[in-house]
Amino acid sequence: MSKEKERAIMQKMVITKQEQVVEREKQTITREKQAVERSKFLMGKIDYINASPVYYGLDHGLVPNWIEMIEGPPAVLNGMIKNRELEISPISSAFYAMNHKELLILPDLSISSQGEVLSVILMTNYPIEELDGKTIILTQDSATSSALVRLIAIQKGIRPNFITGKLRTLEDIPDNIAIPQNIKVSDNIGIQEAISIPNDIGFSQNVCNLTVDAAMIIGDAAMTQPWEKKFKYRIDLGKLWYETTGLPFVFALWVVRRECAISRYNDVKDALELFYESRNQGYIHIDKVIESGAKRLGLDNSYVSRYFELLHCNLDELKIKGLEYFFLSLYENSLLPEKVDIKFLSYNS
């Protein structure tokens, strides 16, 4: 090949690279211009480590300036999406069931397990079959796990007393709970019907004192607190569900409000792609996710590594089947007022 031809080829390559740089700069300018033109888009983020793989990329530079992340426990995010304070958020799957007409599920995103999950537990001083008439505190942070405990109770033929409360540390569990006698402590009458732990009642003849026999705990607290100091048995609810049904359990879903899927179509579409890319980066850098989670919770890397092996952040056909069965079981046992019509976001929404 002559030197003239070589120079021509090299010059063409330089021009091509320059054109590519110019094109990338144009795309960057376009994205920045679109970001400026877009109104703020609010997205929820679970404040437990279980969603860390999904948010890894977003936590490491993927969030554009038109998106704002709001962090909180599942129950808080549930309320915010219902009150239209968020456009997209992870929520408790049972909360989706209660509000399915207003929400669409984002495809292929969930927090699920196919067996043991470690972070959703029932701590109890009795085997489940012996909890009839006993008192169970349900965490106020999750509708799904509370619904699952109620469902299990019905299926086991027992009627415990259910009370909701804050369950983050061992100190959150009182030895006894004083309940005014004019308040009916709930049994299996619906997902949301359970009274909260009263404050500052004191002792009087007009209260009944309930001993705490079991507690349902979720999230980071389930793995970090010494619950065995108060309870004899640790029951992993993901494992119990799988042993009973042979199906995965879906604890949380990512959803978008239906009107938002229409009014902010392009934003929702772009946000969904960001989630997929963020999750992809999370699993590419899973060692960093594990190290960060272990440091945050004060746990061994090996324990957190096993935790993320047990957790699934996708939503395949088998998980959807498990979700459908859970919703149907809630309805058939009168824990939901109607059947759930599961609907997913599509680009035709």
Domains 38-113+250-332 and 120-245 share a fold: yes
CA–CA separation, 255 vs 100, rounded Å?
A: 10
Domain ranges for the chain: 38-113+250-332, 120-245
- Token pair in block for residue 136: 């169970």
pLDDT at 292: 98
Asked whether the predicted pLDDT for residue 3 surpasses 70, the reply is no
CA–CA separation, 41 vs 24, rounded Å?
A: 25
Average pLDDT of 83-109? 97
pLDDT at 32: 52
Q: How confident is the model at residue 217 (pLDDT cuts 50, 70, 90)?
A: very high
Fold of 120-245: D-Maltodextrin-Binding Protein; domain 2 (3.40.190)
Asked whether the predicted pLDDT for residue 200 surpasses 70, the reply is no
State what percent of residues in the chain have pLDDT above 70.
79
Q: How confident is the model at residue 181 (pLDDT cuts 50, 70, 90)?
A: very low
- Higher model confidence: residue 210 or residue 78? 78
Average pLDDT of 109-133? 97
pLDDT at 258: 97
CA–CA separation, 122 vs 125, rounded Å?
A: 10
Q: Are strands 88-92 and 67-72 parallel, antiparallel or unpaired?
A: unpaired
pLDDT at 109: 98
> What is the tens place of the pLDDT at every residue in 66-80?
999 999 988 899 999
- Higher model confidence: residue 223 or residue 143? 223
Q: How confident is the model at residue 111 (pLDDT cuts 50, 70, 90)?
A: very high
- Higher model confidence: residue 28 or residue 189? 28
Q: How confident is the model at residue 10 (pLDDT cuts 50, 70, 90)?
A: low
Arithmetic mean of pLDDT over the chain: 86
Q: How confident is the model at residue 176 (pLDDT cuts 50, 70, 90)?
A: confident
CA–CA separation, 256 vs 265, rounded Å?
A: 11
Sign of the torsion formed by the C-alpha atoms of 145, 147, 153 and 154:
negative
Q: What are phi and psi of 255, to 5 degrees?
A: -135, 165
> What is the tens place of the pLDDT at every residue in 314-349?
999 999 999 999 999 999 999 999 999 999 999 764
Q: Which residues pair with 135 in a beta bridge?
A: 161, 212
pTM of the complete model: 0.82
Q: How confident is the model at residue 230 (pLDDT cuts 50, 70, 90)?
A: very high
Ramachandran sector of residue 185 (left: φ over 0; alpha: ψ -120 to 50; beta: rest): beta
pLDDT at 341: 96
pLDDT at 193: 41
Average pLDDT of 269-294? 98
The distance from CA 151 to its chain's CA centroid, rounded to whole angstroms, is 19
pLDDT at 237: 97
CB neighbourhood size of 12 (10 A): 10
Asked whether the predicted pLDDT for residue 106 surpasses 70, the reply is yes
Q: What are phi and psi of 338, to 5 degrees?
A: -150, 160
Q: How wide is the angle at C-alpha 49 spanned by C-alphas 46 and 55, nearest 5°? A: 60
Q: How confident is the model at residue 140 (pLDDT cuts 50, 70, 90)?
A: confident
Residue in 128, 126, 137, 199 with CA at minimum distance from that of residue 163: 137
> What is the tens place of the pLDDT at every residue in 49-61?
999 999 999 999 9
pLDDT at 11: 62
Residue in 307, 311, 305 with CA at minimum distance from that of residue 290: 305
Out of 140-144, 187-191, 209-213, 317-321, the most confident range is 317-321
Q: Has domain 38-113+250-332 been given CATH number 2.60.120.10?
A: no
